[in-house]
Amino acid sequence: MNEKCTDKEKCEMKQSEEKKEMKCHETIEILPLVDIIEDEHAMTMYFEIPGAKPENVSVEVANHILSIEAHSCLCRKGRQIVFRRCFQLGTSTDISKIHAKTNDGVLTVILPKSEDAKVHKIPISE
């Protein structure tokens, strides 16, 4: 109970307003579906994040953990959808060269391989 309120009715009004605000901000966390393709140069990940604007998408790497978070304009069960997923990265990823883009509700994250992880062909001399 808010001690500043002297009138009981006012207090109840305030509480119900706060509850309403809370409802608007409620979110539901959903794992986005992903396709991962690996080739000799990089690993490409395609996440489905419908309804998320590019400014509401965050891609972070901390302690070799790649975290994806996207706030969608869509709702499920009356709650705003938040797509969230994490992956552990190995040492073969060049973290400084990771880049991402969104297009038609699909987030593409490209994880280039570090030079050490690439296949180096060594020429054999006679």
Partner 1 sequence: MLSKINRKSELSPNLRSFDEMFNNMLKQFDPFYNLELPFENHSFGRMELEMKDDEIIAKLPLPGCKNDKISVEIENDILTVKAEKHCCCKNDEVKNKLIRHERHYQAFEESIKLPAAVDSKKTTAHYKHGVLTIKMAKTAAEKNEVRIIEIN
Binding site for partner 1 (CB under 8 A): 28-39, 43, 46, 48-53, 65, 73-77, 81, 86-90, 92-93, 102, 104-106, 111, 113, 117
User: Looking at beta carbons only, is 59 or 81 nearer to partner 1?
Assistant: 81
User: Looking at beta carbons only, is 39 or 126 nearer to partner 1?
Assistant: 39
Taking the C-alpha atoms of residue 32 and residue 30, their distance in angstroms, rounded to an integer, is 6
Using an 8 Å Cβ cutoff, are 52 and 70 in contact? Answer: yes
User: Looking at beta carbons only, is 11 or 46 nearer to partner 1?
Assistant: 46
Characterize the bridge pairing of strands 106-112 and 42-48: antiparallel
SS3 11: helix
Q: Give the nearest distance from C-beta 49 to partner 1 in angstroms.
A: 7
Q: Give the nearest distance from C-beta 23 to partner 1 in angstroms.
A: 14
User: Looking at beta carbons only, is 12 or 35 nearer to partner 1?
Assistant: 35
List CB contacts of 118: < 8 A, sequence separation 6 or more: 40, 41
Residue 10 is inside which H or E element, if any?
helix 8-24
Q: Give the nearest distance from C-beta 100 to partner 1 in angstroms.
A: 15
